[in-house]
Amino acid sequence: MTPDDLRVAEPTASPAADATAGGPALFRSIRIRDLEIRNRVWVPPLCQYSVTERDGVPHDWHLVHLGSMAAGGAGLVIAEATAVNPEGRISDYDTGIWNDEQAEAWARITRFIRSQGAASGIQLAHAGRKASVWPETVDRRGSQPLEEGGWSTVAPSAIAFDGLRAPVALDESGILAVIEDFRAAARRAVDAGFDVVEVHAAHGYLVHQFLSPLSNLRDDRWGGDLEGRARLLLEVVRAVRAEIGERMPLFVRFSATDWAPGGWDEEQTSTVAGWAAEAGADFFDISTGGLVRDVRIPVGPAYQAAHAEFVRGRAGVSVSAVGRITTPEQAERLVASGAADAVMFGKAMMRDPHLALRAANALHADAAPWPPQYLRARPEANDGEF
């Protein structure tokens, strides 16, 4: 079944509980562990490449970027891929959470998001062999030279991402250090006031590199069969769960397919999602691709949603859908039909940070989360015009 075939229906049973019933499915709250999220209009991690001081510390841009989406009615706002150590940054313009200064800066942002009635999340990330590249915001491409501030990269195997510098294969101690970096970052995320922690296991970054047989050629306990290739993710999930406790939700972002023969696919994703749930993960953010270049991806409206639906059905876990979902009606069909438990609006949310308010109006939702400062702008106060 493709996303275009989905019909509005009552949501099917989900591991995450509906806290309310009635009205559009997209605007029913959802409870995950001890966190109640006011609706299913969520913001995925959106890299900004805006840390001009190159110290990993988020600043005013990040406050306004994330805060505007919270004020605009989103239920959950997840901060961009945030490195667990300096070498894990995609670029040196990325945010980090490997020291206390960074955590304190994030705390200012989470306080504002919470003040707007939204939940805040952070995606903990390590870019692996795709680290140390020039950011999108500068007019250069490829690996940042070592003499210009770049650094050596790491991966499960010494296989370069096409067009980038070759990485060094991590040894046992290096892998264990990465797990500890995720653990320490999770502790700082709690201290910074985040409501959700997400582990980045998608888009060709380090954890995904371990998962895929195209990038992991190891023959030790961190490679080989599916259990070996999934070991890093599961150990990271266990370490993060141990730090955040039992009350806080833990998400994992997967690329459900590499779109390449012999690579990672939705069957393996479903199996490992089940294992990750047993290890302490609660919710799975389903994207695709990113491991290899020059693959054919059938991009179109909601083109990744069918993968989310597959993982949800096969693994029996809660999922969000993301990718070219641009209208309230698309999102409502996905949630109401049971294909997904929530929808991540990425570029659409950057174009319109108040997308959630617009969607509530379009779907005639009573639970429209208008900030008090904006109440006089509500459509019902302006002849129904948004």
Positions marked active-site:
205
Please state, in angstroms and rounded to a whole number, the distance separating the CA atoms of residues 233 and 357. 36
Asked if 204 and 163 touch (Cβ cutoff 8 Å), the reply is no
Please state, in angstroms and rounded to a whole number, the distance separating the CA atoms of residues 106 and 193. 8
Q: How far is CA 284 from CA 44, 253, 331, in A?
A: 12, 6, 17
Please state, in angstroms and rounded to a whole number, the distance separating the CA atoms of residues 328 and 125. 30
Could you tell me which residues are beta bridge partners of residue 79?
122
Q: Which two tokens stand for residue 288?
A: 């695709």
Task: Provide the CA 40 distance to its chain's centre, in angstroms.
Answer: 14
Please state, in angstroms and rounded to a whole number, the distance separating the CA atoms of residues 55 and 92. 8
Amino acid at 272: V
Please state, in angstroms and rounded to a whole number, the distance separating the CA atoms of residues 322 and 297. 15
Of 38, 14, 17, nearest to 28 (Cα)? 38
**Quick check: helix, strand or coil at residue 240?**
helix
Please state, in angstroms and rounded to a whole number, the distance separating the CA atoms of residues 59 and 102. 10
Contacts with 174 (C-beta within 8 Å, 6 or more apart), sequence order: 154
Q: Tokens 């459509």, residue?
A: 379
Asked if 120 and 196 touch (Cβ cutoff 8 Å), the reply is yes
